[in-house]
Amino acid sequence: MNDFEQKIFQAVKEAVHQVYGLEPEDNLLTVEVPRDTKLGDYATGAAMKLAKTLHKSPMDIAQPLAEKLQELLPEAESVTVAKPGFINFKLRSGALTALINQVLDAGDDFGKNDSGKDVHILVEWVSANPTGDLHCGHARGAAWGDAICRLLEKSGYDVLREFYVNDAGNQIVMLGESLISRYFEHFGKEYPLPDNGYHADDVKQIARDIAEQDGDKWLNADPKERLEYFMLEGKTRELKKIEKDLELYRVHMESWIHETFFYENNMERINACLKRMDEMGLIYEKDGALWLKTTDYGDEKDRVLRKSDGTLSYLTPDVANHVYKVERGYTTLVNLWGADHHSYVTRMQAALTALGYPKGTLSVDLIQMVRMVEDGAEVKMSKRTGNAITLRELCEDVGVDAARWFFVSKDISSQMDFDMKQAAARDNDNPVYYAQYAYSRMCSILKNEEIPDFHREDSYDRLTDEKELLLLKMMGEFPALVARAAKVRKPNIVADYILSLVKLYHSYYNSTRVNNPEDPELTNQRLGLVKALQVTLRNALDLLGVSAPESM
């Protein structure tokens, strides 16, 4: 609901209480824009919803409510009843147009709200293994997670953006061995490349960089020392590359937590978790392994914490990681994981519940697969390298704006096709171009030397065109829409809003003369509307990490 809808909603609730002595449920008091806007700016069907309870006809219920609402809503020019029982609200022109100065005063803060006040939330996303370049699969989650954080921050949440670095598993050993193989190859020596090692060009490049930096000193070094060095160099260099590519993609991480952190000091944090589980009676030994009783907390089977060979399962340091998140003061945890982690969600939530944390502490949004297509055919490999399309290549080929828009405009709960040809196009069939073109049109009007500079007015009562009033209503919806999108973690809601707003603006632009030299007062008021729309659209695009170019 926008501010006007919220005021009407509360007034309807109060009117029902005063007239009929009822405290109706909120879902009975819907407020909406009527199909025929000539009837009013807003309408409610509350009278029809109350007919069964009050045993009266909706028309008989509506009339006393309308009279009471006229008293309760000074913003309403009129409150009327229409068959079969709708109550229509016509707002005073000043009530809507006052929004222009509110938007201009707020500027970059327009859309800001405090719906998340005092909520401490940690969002973990991307978290790719530091063994290679980020690819298009990572690109979807990276854009979505960043947009979620932007929405949460705009809505007053205390947000920490975190990347969990999986750097303690066998994949890092394989990275180290692969680098050693390529390092030896650089000097014309042989060293077997593991069957499940890494063959990509970036591994070859890192090996060449190490060779140029260190020379041949590692050819005859102690094998254990050499492997440790190449593992560390490999993951460090890969991680720097990941961070650089994320920054290119306008994704900024505030915290980087390494899995190896939980193995430090003789696994101090992991052992503390295991001891806590033991004291709570949550673990048992069976077949030489240590098990967590996750079935008592909704899981389909108990899970191994320590295998019979003494090594830890992936779950164990991950539990320690989530406990550490809460210990840092974040009572709400959100993870973005790939769809292949579906079964892992329940066991992690069960582990946290078992440890005494409230249900709902951890929420996991699963990112479905993305298929890259061009001319209707799937594109699996880069035309330049023959390997998987990397995030950096995608940004270079279609642009950061298009890449981000396409990934956040579709809900991650559904698989999607990313049309590379459409994303690279510079025409109105490309939704991000269509939205940015609207913004550049607004800028061109405000910069037009033939139009007098805008000056603020106390009232914009000349804005009576139907499209002008609809644009004002849409602007008024923005702060509440931001709050709603943040709460449900759905940036695509903002993308849909942007497209609706710019579609209406393009229509207004094509049908209305903003500059009327014979009527400077009307021109100035329309400039005020355009300037407020400019602020709204820029702020909305920024929530998606998409730029607002002044010219195209």
In a domain, 126, yes or no: no
φ, ψ dihedrals at 352, nearest 5°: -70, -40
Nearest CA among 94, 91, 113 for reference residue 7: 91
3-class secondary-structure state, position 334: strand
Interacting residues of 539 by C-beta distance below 8 A, sequence separation 6+: 108, 110, 111, 478
In a domain, 238, yes or no: yes
Same domain? 535 vs 453: yes
Nearest CA among 26, 120, 156 for reference residue 479: 156
- The pLDDT of residue 491: 98
Q: What is the pLDDT of residues 399-456, one digit of tens each?
A: 999 999 999 999 999 999 999 999 999 999 999 999 999 999 999 999 998 899 999 9
Residue owning tokens 């949004």: 365
Same domain? 377 vs 446: no
Looking at residue 296, the DSSP 8-state letter turns out to be G
CA angle in degrees (0–180, nearest 5) for 438-440-445: 100
Residue owning tokens 């809601």: 493
The alpha helices in 249-314, defined as continuous H runs, are 264-279
Q: How far is CA 177 from CA 78, 180, 183, 187, 226, in A?
A: 77, 5, 10, 16, 9
- The pLDDT of residue 386: 57
Same domain? 76 vs 16: yes
In a domain, 485, yes or no: yes
In a domain, 217, yes or no: yes
Interacting residues of 434 by C-beta distance below 8 A, sequence separation 6+: 428, 499, 502, 506
Looking at residue 164, the DSSP 8-state letter turns out to be E
- The pLDDT of residue 32: 86
- The pLDDT of residue 385: 60
Same domain? 30 vs 62: yes
CA angle in degrees (0–180, nearest 5) for 44-45-49: 140
169: left (phi over 0), alpha (psi -120 to 50) or beta: beta
Nearest CA among 261, 157, 51, 249 for reference residue 489: 157
- The pLDDT of residue 278: 97
In a domain, 260, yes or no: no
φ, ψ dihedrals at 392, nearest 5°: -65, -45
- The pLDDT of residue 388: 82
Same domain? 493 vs 431: yes
Q: Are strands 31-32 and 370-374 parallel, antiparallel or unpaired?
A: unpaired
**CB distance 61 to 85 below 8 Å:** yes
Query: How far is residue 173's CA from residue 107's CA, in Å, rounded to a whole number?
Result: 51
Residue owning tokens 């914490």: 305
253: left (phi over 0), alpha (psi -120 to 50) or beta: beta
Q: What is the pLDDT of residues 51-75, one digit of tens each?
A: 999 999 999 999 999 999 999 998 8
Same domain? 434 vs 412: no
What is the b/e burial string over 243-278, where b = at least 16 CB atoms within 10 angstroms of the residue's CB? bebbeebbbebeeebbbbbbbeeebebbeebbeebe
> Would you say the C-alpha torsion 461, 463, 468, 470 has a positive or negative sign?
positive
* Cis peptide bond prior to 517, omega within 30° of 0: no
Given 248, 276, 293, the domain boundary residue is 248
Q: How many domains does the chain have?
A: 4
Sheet holding 303-306, edge to edge: 283-286, 289-292, 303-306
Residue 234: beta bridge partners?
none
Given 189, 221, 248, the domain boundary residue is 248
Query: How far is residue 395's CA from residue 405's CA, in Å, rounded to a whole number?
Result: 12
Same domain? 438 vs 411: no
Query: How far is residue 1's CA from residue 359's CA, in Å, rounded to a whole number?
Result: 29
Residue 83 CB coordination number (10 Å): 8
pTM for this structure? 0.89
Same domain? 451 vs 533: yes
The CATH number covering residue 64 comes to 3.30.1360.70
Same domain? 383 vs 466: no
Residue 303 CB coordination number (10 Å): 21
Same domain? 443 vs 392: no
Same domain? 376 vs 472: no
Each as own residue / partner, the long-range contacts of residues 34-37 (CB below 8 Å, 24 or more positions apart, any chain) are 34/86, 34/88, 37/466, 37/469, 37/470
Same domain? 439 vs 402: no
Query: How far is residue 296's CA from residue 294's CA, in Å, rounded to a whole number?
Result: 5
Q: How far is CA 222 from CA 193, 246, 319, 441, in A?
A: 18, 36, 35, 66
For residue 311, give the amino acid letter: T
Please classify residue 440 by burial: count the beta carbons closer than 10 Å to its beta carbon, then call 0-12 exposed, 13-18 middle and 19+ buried: middle
Q: Which domain holds residue 398?
A: 372-420
In a domain, 60, yes or no: yes
The two structure tokens encoding residue 341: 């982690």
Each as own residue / partner, the long-range contacts of residues 288-292 (CB below 8 Å, 24 or more positions apart, any chain) are 292/351, 292/354
> Most distant CA pair in the chain: distance in Å?
95
Q: Are strands 332-338 and 362-367 parallel, antiparallel or unpaired?
A: parallel
Interacting residues of 275 by C-beta distance below 8 A, sequence separation 6+: none
In a domain, 454, yes or no: yes
Query: How far is residue 258's CA from residue 168's CA, in Å, rounded to a whole number?
Result: 8
Residue 285: beta bridge partners?
290
In a domain, 323, yes or no: no
The CATH number covering residue 457 comes to 1.10.730.10
Given 420, 453, 484, the domain boundary residue is 420
Residue ranges for the chain with pLDDT beneath 70: 1-2, 382-386
